């Protein structure tokens, strides 16, 4: 298929590498920073995404830009019946979400959201293993380190207007998505967020803790103020078992499960090994003319939970 990428930052480069490895035809790249695109020879380069989408024959466009740009770019492509694969989060407000879902409904094109951790072998095993079990309680933890240099590496990071939040909207949304995917959507949430270490550097939270309430309740703790990065961990408690899931392992009552090794990982280790599998699955869905399993409606679920958590401020609130 003919592919294009908007945004050649850290995650955009991951999408580029996967597309090249999978043999897709990359016909155009777009970034407002010429230095980010100049190294890619033999591919048309644009500084205006609208100009690119209006003038190129594109089957799939990958939106890999800062969060606050996702909604308008996704909608512009869908209105032109161009299939879109959007990096997380799909958007950063409920109003944007409504606009995207309305555009998806009207479009002939497909929309996909990049929650690649659903494609980890450990995640797939956990979802299948727990599908017929009663989970009494679950807990997810994200303990990472993001310092001043990380936030100062790009002016959109750490700002409500451009990032849409901190650790919940950017890092822990993947873990929250997995918990929602495996356990179902919570109906209510009570949570608290605060800036523990980076006051004056960022205006969003670096730490959050919340209880998500529904048929299968769970708790999420997330921080980017840890001294070092630790593996993401999910714990599921049934009547007789404790199932512990990391990006590349599963243990049931302490006994490791024999999982197939992940294929090549692209980008940071924290991204997991799912990008290549998700991108291939999206392209296969487009080729078949079928709904992608993480479409707009599905990709919006975790965003709803994040926004409800921000609204909560220590009180129980409904998830819209």
pLDDT digits (tens, 9 = 90+) for 251-292: 999 999 999 876 666 555 555 668 999 999 999 999 999 999
Can you tell me whether residue 47 is helix, strand or coil?
Answer: coil
Superfamily of domain 2-116: NAD(P)-binding Rossmann-like Domain (3.40.50.720)
| Residue corresponding to tokens 């991951």 | 14
For residues 247 and 117, is the Cβ–Cβ distance under 8 A?
Answer: yes
pLDDT digits (tens, 9 = 90+) for 217-230: 999 999 999 999 99
Mean predicted confidence (pLDDT) in 233-239: 97
Q: Torsion over CA of 154, 159, 169 and 275, rounded to 10 degrees?
A: -10
pLDDT digits (tens, 9 = 90+) for 80-125: 999 999 999 999 999 999 999 999 999 999 999 999 999 999 999 9
Mean predicted confidence (pLDDT) in 175-193: 98
Q: Identify which of 103, 59, 96 has the alpha carbon closest to the alpha carbon of residue 79.
A: 103
Q: Torsion over CA of 64, 67, 72 and 75, rounded to 10 degrees?
A: 60
For residues 224 and 231, is the Cβ–Cβ distance under 8 A?
Answer: no
Mean pLDDT across the chain, nearest whole number?
95
Rounded to an integer, what distance in angstroms lies between the CA atom of residue 88 and that of residue 172? 11
**What pLDDT does 249 receive?**
94
| Residue corresponding to tokens 């959050």 | 208
Model-level pTM?
0.95
pLDDT digits (tens, 9 = 90+) for 45-92: 999 999 999 999 999 999 999 999 999 999 999 999 999 999 999 999
DSSP 231: -
Kindly list the distances between the CA atom of residue 233 and the CA atoms of 27, 43, 177, 189, in Å, as whole numbers in the listed order: 39, 40, 13, 20
Looking at the structure, give the CATH architecture of the domain made up of residues 117-254+296-318: 2-Layer Sandwich (3.30)
- Helix axis angle, 173-183 to 296-312, nearest 10°: 110
Every domain of the chain and the residues it spans: 2-116, 117-254+296-318
**What pLDDT does 234 receive?**
98
């Amino acid at each position: 298929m003919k592919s294009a990428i908007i945004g050649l930052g850290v995650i955009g480069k991951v999408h580029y590498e996967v597309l090249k490895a999978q043999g897709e035809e990359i016909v155009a790249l777009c970034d407002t920073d010429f230095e980010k695109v100049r190294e890619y020879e033999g591919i048309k380069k644009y500084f205006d995404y609208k100009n690119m989408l209006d003038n190129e024959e594109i089957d799939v466009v990958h939106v890999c830009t800062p969060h606050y740009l996702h909604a308008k770019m996704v909608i512009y492509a869908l209105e032109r019946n161009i299939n879109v694969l959007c990096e997380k989060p799909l958007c950063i407000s409920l109003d944007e979400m409504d606009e995207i879902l309305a555009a998806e409904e009207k479009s002939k094109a497909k929309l996909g959201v990049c929650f690649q951790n659903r494609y980890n072998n450990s995640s797939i095993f956990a979802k299948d293993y727990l599908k017929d079990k009663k989970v009494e309680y679950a807990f997810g933890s994200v303990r990472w380190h993001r310092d001043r240099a990380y936030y100062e590496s790009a002016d959109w990071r750490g700002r409500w207007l451009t990032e849409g939040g901190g650790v919940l909207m950017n890092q822990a949304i993947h873990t929250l998505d997995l918990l929602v995917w495996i356990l179902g959507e919570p109906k209510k949430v009570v949570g608290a967020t605060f800036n523990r270490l980076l006051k004056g550097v960022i205006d969003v939270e670096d730490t959050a803790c919340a209880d998500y309430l529904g048929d299968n309740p769970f708790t999420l703790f997330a921080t980017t103020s840890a001294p070092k990065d630790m593996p993401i961990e999910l714990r599921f408690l049934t009547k007789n078992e404790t199932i512990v899931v990391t990006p590349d392992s599963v243990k049931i009552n302490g006994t490791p499960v024999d999982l197939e090794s992940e294929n090549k990982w692209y980008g940071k280790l924290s991204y997991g090994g799912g990008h290549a599998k998700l991108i291939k699955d999206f392209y296969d869905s487009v080729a078949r003319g079928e709904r992608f399993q993480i479409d707009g409606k599905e990709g919006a679920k975790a965003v709803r939970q994040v926004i409800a958590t921000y609204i909560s401020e220590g009180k129980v609130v409904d998830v819209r």
